[in-house]
Amino acid sequence: MNILKKLWLTLSTPSKAGVGLVLALGFVGGVVFWGGFNTTLSLTNTEEFCTGCHEMADNVYQEYRETIHYSNRSGVRATCPDCHVPKDWTHKIIRKIAASKEVWGMLTGIIDTREKFVDHRKSMAMREWKRMKDNDSRECRNCHNFEYMDFSEQGSRSVKMHSTALASGEKTCIDCHKGIAHELPDMKGVEGWH
Amino acid sequence: MKKIMIVLIAMSIATGAVAQTKAEIMVNNGGVESLRGSAELDVTRSADKHKRVLKDREPLQRNYVHQPPIIPHQVRGYKVNLNVNKCLSCHGWKYARETGATKISPTHFETREGMTLSDVSPRRYFCQQCHVPQVDGRPLVENDFKAVDSLSQYK
């Protein structure tokens, strides 16, 4: 009993220097931890990181290099996370946690050959299309903002679709723009495809 | 000594000249000129500039009966393969009304023997075997071809 009382006394009446030290350590530690966390997080949000595994480097990345989001007249381009990782913090963390499943996939080698990848392409594509459909193509809209689309500069086919189905919110980007950055799987049974 | 030098110099000039004419003969294309200009066999002609594919137009008129209509829009990245057919996403009968695209002709459903199938015949599946987009290039040779009267009314 005496020991407990003594301990309580020590804890409840800390020296001023002690309080200062604890606060300072907490502050510095917080900065280091939070900074380190965000730095690591942004390191995993780069094309170099994504293409660090051969599954990405040999399949999707090679296909992507021929498309307009990689190579175009003005040199503005999107990297993997621009489309596949949300920009704002909450959704980013949710996506990052969900992406830990991909580490498991890497370890078990679910798509470690081209054949396995092609076999698996449809289910992966469907998952990503669903994600984009559910969030109203949020990642597309980070760059392609409907508010600033100039229909007079668009082709007549684009205007026809954008001014009606997209404007009314009936359709979202991914409904029509599938396979713009990667090759498509067998599209039998997918809406809008033959 | 002087004489020998002169002879040697003359010989070297002569052999050089012979070698030169030989090389000329080896690469001479005989003045043959193709539609893309003349180029010697040992010279790689620099490629022409890429022509731009015309952006969205109204359907272009046909020049003769049974001409596969020309594609009046850009088709960059439109894939037609075992997995997908991007053209049919608009031109297929299922979607043509909604998209306002020209429907593919019923002849595309027919087999070689004239039997009509329920879907596009495999022999007509690869659209760009017959239908091609147009670039804003000038004809390589002058051409005064005129469509027959029955088609030229669309002009």
Identify the weakest region by mean pLDDT among A33-37, A156-160, A182-186, B16-20: B16-20
B79/A184 touch (CB, cutoff 8 Å), yes or no: yes
Residue at B150 is within a domain:
no
Interfacial A residues in 64-123 facing B (CB < 8 Å): 67-68
> Can you say how many angstroms the Cα of residue A3 is from the centroid of all Cα atoms in its chain?
54
Residue A80 has pLDDT above 90, yes or no: yes
Mean pLDDT of chain A: 93
Query: Residue B7 sits in which domain range?
Result: 1-47
My answer on whether B71 and B125 are in the same domain is yes
pLDDT tens column, A92-139? 999 999 999 999 999 999 999 999 999 999 999 999 999 999 999 999
pLDDT at A31 over 90: yes
Tell whether A193 is covered by a domain: no
Residue A52 domain flag:
yes
Please, what is the average pLDDT of chain B? 83
More confident residue, B12 or B121: B121
Residue A96 lies in a domain: yes
Looking at per-residue pLDDT, the higher value among B48 and A83 belongs to: A83
Q: Are residues B42 and B65 in the same domain?
A: no
A122 within a domain of the structure (yes/no): yes
DSSP string, chain A: -HHHHHHHHHHHS--HHHHHHHHHHHHHHHHHHHHHHHHHHHHTTSHHHHTTSHHIIIIIHHHHTTSTTTS-SS-----HHHHHS-SSHHHHHHHHHHTHHHHHHHHHTTT-SHHHHHHHHHHHHHHHHHHHHHTTTHHHHTTS-GGG--GGGS-HHHHHHIIIIITTTSS-HHHH--SSSS-----TTSTT--
CATH number reported for the structural domain that contains residue B85 in this entry: 1.10.1130.10
How many other β-carbons are positioned within 10 Å of the β-carbon of residue A78? 19
Same domain, B108 and B35: no
Q: Of A81-95, A122-136, B92-106, B141-155, where does mean pLDDT reach its minimum? A: B141-155
Number of structural domains, chain B?
2
Owning domain of residue A118: 27-176
pLDDT tens digits, residue range A11-22?
Answer: 888 788 888 899
Domain match, B72 and B120 both: yes
Q: Give the residue from chain B lying closest to A181, CA to CA.
A: B77
- A187 occurs within a structural domain: no
Pairwise CA distance, residues B18 & B25, whole Å: 11
Task: Note whether residue B61 is domain-resident.
Answer: yes
Residue B147 lies inside a defined structural domain of this protein: no
B25 within some domain: yes
User: CA-nearest residue of chain B to A63?
Assistant: B77
Answer yes or no: do B2 and B66 share one domain.
no
Residues B115 and B54 in one domain: yes
Q: B15 pLDDT exceeds 70?
A: no
- CATH of residue A125's domain is 1.10.3820
B36 and B99 both lie in a single domain: no
Q: Is the pLDDT of residue B136 over 80?
A: yes
The pLDDT assigned to B25 comes to 62
Whether residue B155 is contained in a domain is answered as: no
**Residue A189 resides in a domain:** no
Query: Which chain B residues touch A192 with a CB distance below 8 Å?
Result: 89, 95
For range A19-39, the mean pLDDT: 93
Assess whether B116 and B81 both reside in one domain.
yes
Q: Do A192 and B95 touch (CB under 8 A)?
A: yes
Which of B56, B75, B80, B84 has the highest number of chain A CBs within 10 A, making it the mutation to test binding with A? B84
Task: State whether the Cα torsion B73-A128-A175-B83 is positive or negative.
Answer: positive
Q: Does some domain include residue B92?
A: yes
**Across the strands, what pairs with B53?**
B135
- Residues of chain A with Cβ-Cβ distance to B73 below 8 Å are 155, 157
Residue B155 pLDDT:
44
Q: Is pTM beyond 0.95 here? A: no
Burial of A137 (0-12, 13-18, 19+ CB in 10 A): buried
Taking an 8 Å cut-off on Cβ atoms, the answer to whether B88 and A194 are in contact is yes
**Do residues B23 and B55 share a domain?**
no
Chain B residues inside the 8 Å CB shell of A187: 83-84
CA distance B63 to B145: 9
- Residues B114-144: b if buried by 16+ CB within 10 A, e if exposed: eeeeeebeeebbebeeebebeeeeeeeeeee
B66 and B130: one domain? yes
Nearest CA in chain B to A183: B79
The predicted model gives A144-165 an average pLDDT of 93
Q: A149 pLDDT exceeds 80?
A: yes
Q: Is the pLDDT of residue A47 over 90?
A: yes
Q: φ and ψ at B133, to 5 degrees?
A: -75, 165
Average pLDDT over residues B15-41: 69
- pLDDT exceeds 50 at position B67: yes
Q: Identify whether A188 is part of a domain.
A: no
pLDDT at B7 over 70: no
Give domain status of residue B131, yes or no: yes
Task: Look at the block and give the residue holding tokens 């997209």.
Answer: A166
Query: What's the pLDDT band for B17 if we cut at 50, 70, 90?
Result: low
Please report how the helices A100-108 and A89-98 are oriented relative to each other, as an axis angle in degrees rounded to 10.
20
> Which residues is B34 bridged to in the sheet?
B37
Q: Does B151 reside within a domain?
A: no
Does one domain contain both B66 and B114?
yes
Are B38 and B69 contained in the same domain? Answer: no
A12 domain-assigned:
no
